[in-house]
Structure 1
Amino acid sequence: MRLHRNLCFSVIDGLTLIFNEGHYADKVIQQLLKRDKRWGARDRAFVAETTYDIVRWKRLYAEIAEVKEPFNRDNLWRMFAVWATLKGIKLPDWKYFEDTPTRKIKGRFDELSKIRKFKESIPDWLDELGEKELGNTVWNKEITALNEQADVILRVNTLKTTKEKLQTELFDLDIETEYLQDYPNALKLKERANVFTTDAFKNGYFEVQDASSQLVAEFLNVQPGMRVVDACAGAGGKTLHIASLMENKGQIIAMDIYENKLHELKRRAKRNGAHNIEPRVIDSTKVIKKLYDKADRVLIDAPCSGLGVLRRNPDAKWKLQPDFIEKIKTTQQDILQQYAKMVKVGGQLVYATCSILPSENQEQVDKFLTSESGKNFTLIKDKKVLAHKSGFDGFFMALLERKV
């Protein structure tokens, strides 16, 4: 591979924004990719994947490069040189790469690869927490899996097409996909491609949604004609899946505290042809209280640490703090206690997170079931999805039923 100066400069500019100014990696990369209209697919892929790579391995590369935050541009070029050397890329004769100790880089990499917090490039506190909650053996496997690049998975919108038709349409565009066993509406891309520019996407035939995330709506056990509440809907990935499972029949009330996310959901619902979704902003407790005892199904896709989705959000491990995890656990329990009251007698509730920590998952469900609000609920089943076993994001979901 030959390095091109303008592409490398874009990566360095992006890393400056992510590491020093706290910008989100996905937003920075979106901006970078609009820089030069002459860039082809390979150029764009280089900028995106290299930026994500250096974000993912920040601690390891900084340790090898012997640089500390906040990183100046020279520091970032040194980290870039580490990345290129470890990838086996020949460094060009640029001033940024003068005196790069190639042999020393490889030696340091071998040394540091014996220490998990460096090998997997994670903060000390996260390494300790993962081992404490999952045990040494499982945590070793899980954090390795969470450092791998995520596959691109599509969820077929069955309101508009079938899996077979979509696969054929994408194949005609030289985008090859394969079925995934046990994921009825999923297609996995064999090679990464920009699917958002296709007519199939613009016409609402699919959404990009990880395979583990696709399990949640299925777990909710919805039927056409029901009244369903998606209580933490966000921009509506799972809401749209629920709408397709309900065949547009019945009512989905999509709720969130952020109005801008619900605006995005409305836009996506229109593209998907999902007509049974009613967005409601949670701007007071009255919004929840009006629905007490009214819903056949309630989905609580709770705010969480997001540790199960580090493969697609590698910068999250640098933004997360231990006190945030403690606060979010309090929020999760509060939401469970209040929102469960929307489930009518005989109705069902799913509590889900994209976390791998038992303290955010089964322990929250156990705490709820032994509380005053939870004593009328029974646990029907739960599912713990770990990335190293599934090959997809880490997730948790529990199905509870309100007793008759």
Structure 2
Amino acid sequence: MAKTAREIALEVIHRVHKTGSYANLLLPKKLRESDLDRRDKAFTTELTYGTLRAKGTLDWIIQQFSKQKPDKIPDLVLDLTRMSVYQIMYMDVPDHASVNEAVLIAKKNFHPGISKFVNGLLRTIAREKDNLPWPDKEKDPARYISLKYFHPPWIVKMWIEEFGIEQTEALCEADNRPPKLVIRVNTLKITPEKLTDELKEAGWQVEPGMYMPEALVAKDAGDITRVPQFKEGQFYAQDESSMIIAHVVDPQPGETILDVAAAPGGKTTHMAQLMHNKGQILSVDVNPNRVNLLKQNIQRMGATIAQAIKADATKLKSVVKKPVDRILC
């Protein structure tokens, strides 16, 4: 039997928490293998990433109403509960649908006592969601903003010192909105104008980015990995804030660049195109699985001057044999 959108989201969330898997690698694979339509894939994506981002806040909410502390709830049950609370609190999903679907999954995977626990807890949270005992904003603004908008406390404290309480809250709220899909045109292979025309012919809505000439904002794109332009390395999914970094490094043709913690390769392949594939880029990452992904992206994007290297960035004497012109760390 084909898995539902929520079952796929739960599987990915649980594997990320249990094994340290990368959601951005695991989820697209699961979606490609599924029978979900475009709308359900978008729902699964928002649910998965949202639940992972909001983990600390979701656990705090669960703790307010559960007789069992989160660390005493079985792992898979806790992830199911987190996922359902995220729908109740942050998604445009009817509360009864969030509860009922969670109970169905619980009945399918656990004994009756678990489904009763999930049902009771979620119904209570849905009923009381507007009365949560958030920390006092006046007395402890950093904790209030950190919990409500699920941002790390150290970032919130730093932003409050820099921008003030109200602007920090607005910033965190904006930061949680689903981002637009931005792609970086690989100018080693195609121009932004030509790629725009091709993608529009394929049914995409495409418009120029805000800052980078090689950036395009795509709408109604569906699974971008299925289009031939992606497979041929004509573009890379990358936010403009990430694209800016390669321009700050400003690598010049013929130079030797060291890219530390380089996987999955967005900035490495971007620097290669800015260098017109002339020079050398040493792209280092310590994780073997991420190095494999780095190699795949280097090959797909045609970044022939880039070399993917598995190494510890604190021990590079055996890797870097000659002086380098610039380092991206």
TM-score range normalised by the length of the shorter chain: 0.7 to 0.9
1:231 and 2:259 matched: yes
Match of 1:244 in 2: 273
Deviation at 1:142, TM superposition (A): 3.4
Could you tell me how far apart the structure 1 residues matched to 2:179 and 2:136 are? Answer: 22
The one-letter amino acid paired with 2:202 is: L
**Residue 91 of structure 1, aligned match among 76, 87, 96:** 96
Secondary structure of 2:4's counterpart equals: helix
Paired residues for 1:365-380 under 5 Å: none
The one-letter amino acid paired with 1:251 is: G
**Residue 131 of structure 2, aligned match among 82, 86, 108:** 108
Bigger fraction of residues in helix: 2
Match of 1:33 in 2: 31
Say whether the 8 Å CA contact 2:259–2:268 is kept in structure 1: no
Match of 2:111 in 1: none
User: TM-score if structure 1 supplies the norm length?
Assistant: 0.61
Say whether the 8 Å CA contact 1:234–1:265 is kept in structure 2: yes
Q: Number of aligned pairs? A: 292
The one-letter amino acid paired with 2:13 is: L
Say whether the 8 Å CA contact 1:112–1:119 is kept in structure 2: no
Stretch moving more, 46-55 or 118-127: 118-127
Deviation at 1:210, TM superposition (A): 1.2
Stretch moving more, 184-193 or 265-274: 265-274
The one-letter amino acid paired with 2:57 is: L
Match of 2:108 in 1: none
Match of 2:49 in 1: 52
**Residue 212 of structure 1, aligned match among 241, 244, 257:** 241
Q: Deviations over 1:268-318 (max 9, x none)?
A: 3332233333455557543466323xx4x4132x2xxxxxxxxxxxxxxxx
Could you tell me how far apart the structure 2 residues matched to 1:82 and 1:137 are? Answer: 26
Stretch moving more, 178-187 or 15-24: 15-24
Say whether the 8 Å CA contact 1:153–1:188 is kept in structure 2: yes
The one-letter amino acid paired with 2:321 is: K
Bigger fraction of residues in strand: 1
Could you tell me how far apart the structure 1 residues matched to 2:207 and 2:295 are? Answer: 30
Could you tell me how far apart the structure 2 residues matched to 1:266 and 1:12 are? Answer: 29
Say whether the 8 Å CA contact 1:155–1:208 is kept in structure 2: yes
Given the superposition, is the C-alpha separation of residues 256 and 192 from structure 1 closer, same or farther in structure 2, using an over 3 Å criterion? same
Given the superposition, is the C-alpha separation of residues 244 and 90 from structure 1 closer, same or farther in structure 2, using an over 3 Å criterion? same
The one-letter amino acid paired with 1:229 is: I
Stretch moving more, 173-182 or 79-88: 79-88
Match of 1:366 in 2: none
The answer to which structure, 1 or 2, has the higher relative contact order (CA under 8 A, 6+ apart) is 1
The one-letter amino acid paired with 2:281 is: I
Q: Deviations over 1:168-222 (max 9, x none)?
A: 1111221111102331100011345211111001111111111011112222334
Could you tell me how far apart the structure 2 residues matched to 1:255 and 1:205 are? Answer: 21
Could you tell me how far apart the structure 1 residues matched to 2:43 and 2:136 are? Answer: 25
Given the superposition, is the C-alpha separation of residues 239 and 124 from structure 1 closer, same or farther in structure 2, using an over 3 Å criterion? closer
Match of 1:172 in 2: 201
Secondary structure of 2:268's counterpart equals: helix
Match of 2:148 in 1: 119
Given the superposition, is the C-alpha separation of residues 257 and 40 from structure 1 closer, same or farther in structure 2, using an over 3 Å criterion? closer
The one-letter amino acid paired with 2:286 is: Y
User: TM-score if structure 2 supplies the norm length?
Assistant: 0.73
Match of 1:195 in 2: 224
Aligned-pair Cα RMSD in Å = 3.4
Match of 2:9 in 1: 11
Could you tell me how far apart the structure 2 residues matched to 1:13 and 1:259 are? Answer: 23
Q: Deviations over 1:370-404 (max 9, x none)?
A: xxxxxxxxxxxxxxxxxxxxxxxxxxxxxxxxxxx
Match of 2:286 in 1: 258
**Residue 327 of structure 2, aligned match among 265, 286, 299:** 299
Deviation at 1:162, TM superposition (A): 0.7
Match of 2:321 in 1: 290
